[in-house]
Amino acid sequence: MKKVCVITGGSSGIGLSIVKLFVEHNYQVFNLDLSPCAIGEFRQCDVTNVEQVSEIIANIAQQHTIDVLISNAGIHFSATIENTSEAELDNVFNINVKGAYAAIKAVLPSMKANKNGAIILMSSDQALVAKHNSFAYNLSKSALASIAKTTALDYAAFNIRANAVCPGTIETPLYHQAIDNYCQKSGADKNAVHEEEAKLQPLQRLGQPEEVAELVLFLASDNAKFITGSLQVIDGGYTAQ
């Protein structure tokens, strides 16, 4: 029998790499995203709508035991606190944090009944270090790290594990969008910025979404059954500096 994985934001970037890898490893993957995806079982969903997230996951849980939740849906936003409006702050938190809250709350009944489960939140190296012009994004990713820790403690008695993955600079569509936005505002050359980003990493390159997916697969597996409440950094050594 296939294990069942629910992922939010699995239609592009790191999420898509996770969906592909989990399908390859014989998981039945339900992908909750706004954008369609041909891999796995797609469910159109706005993660900011708690009722919609709850309903979709409840429908999945009626037919399947949910073994793994990967809370991956998120957006990037660059600005200082002065340049962040209340609406922009709400938008970042609604997607990055409330989306995780909704998904975790919805899968817990199935995992508690089964006395087993792995919850993986996609945080960031910014849960450990600050970066310029990243007030709201940094705040949201730090919140996800906190959620992983508190969920790990609250549900350890049910053999439910919760961990946060903290990627550094990963070459995804989101990364390229952020670089494009910066270049448009500053007039900088994209190739030069891309090279500079690589040089900031001790390993002298950017991470790839497939590498993050491999870490997520490990955390979901029985090989990681004694790992919970942890922040798993995958950043090419950036936060070790």
Distance CA 12, CA 75 (A): 12
In this predicted structure, what is the pLDDT of residue 34?
A: 98
Q: 92 near 140, Cβ under 8 Å?
A: yes
Report field, pTM of the whole predicted structure over 0.85:
yes
Q: 169 near 131, Cβ under 8 Å?
A: no
The C-alpha R_g of the chain, in whole angstroms, comes to 17
| Helix residue ranges, H only, the chain | 13-24, 50-63, 86-93, 99-114, 135-155, 173-186, 190-199, 209-220
Q: 78 near 134, Cβ under 8 Å?
A: yes
Distance CA 103, CA 30 (A): 12
Task: Tell me the catalytic residues.
Answer: 137
Distance CA 20, CA 39 (A): 7
In this predicted structure, what is the pLDDT of residue 60?
A: 98
Distance CA 45, CA 156 (A): 29
Residue from 180, 178, 148, 175 nearest 161 by CA: 148
pLDDT tens digits in sequence order for the chain, 241 residues long: 899 999 999 999 999 999 999 999 999 999 999 999 999 999 999 999 999 999 999 999 999 999 999 999 999 999 999 999 999 999 999 999 999 999 999 999 999 999 999 999 999 999 999 999 999 999 999 999 999 999 999 999 999 999 999 999 999 988 888 899 889 989 989 999 889 999 999 999 999 999 999 999 999 999 999 999 999 999 999 999 9
In this predicted structure, what is the pLDDT of residue 185?
A: 86
